[in-house]
Amino acid sequence: MAIIIQLDVMMAKRKIGLMELAEKINITPANLSILKNNKAKAIRLSTLDEICKALNCQPGDIIEYVEDIDGKQNEA
């Protein structure tokens, strides 16, 4: 099991691209890409706040605790 951050789905639902969302929440596209593709190891609540606001969704829509498909895992 592992925690994953996935913006893909919600972004698709809201029909919003990386550039547009990045500008909206005031973060560089480069850094947003990291969050989008599950490369982040932590997240600030302020950033999560901006994302949830912009995508009009809940943290649970973005962060999930799932069975790790690949070798991905963030255990202690």
Binding site for DNA (CB under 7 A): 17-20, 26-31, 33-37, 39-44, 46-47
What are the angstrom distances between the C-alpha of 60 and each of 24, 26, 29?
Answer: 21, 22, 22
What are the angstrom distances between the C-alpha of 55 and each of 3, 47, 72?
Answer: 20, 12, 26
Minimum Å gap between C-beta 57 and its own copies is 8
Site string for its own copies, 14-53 (x = CB under 8 A): -----------xx-------------xxxxxxx-xxx-xx
Minimum Å gap between C-beta 30 and DNA is 3
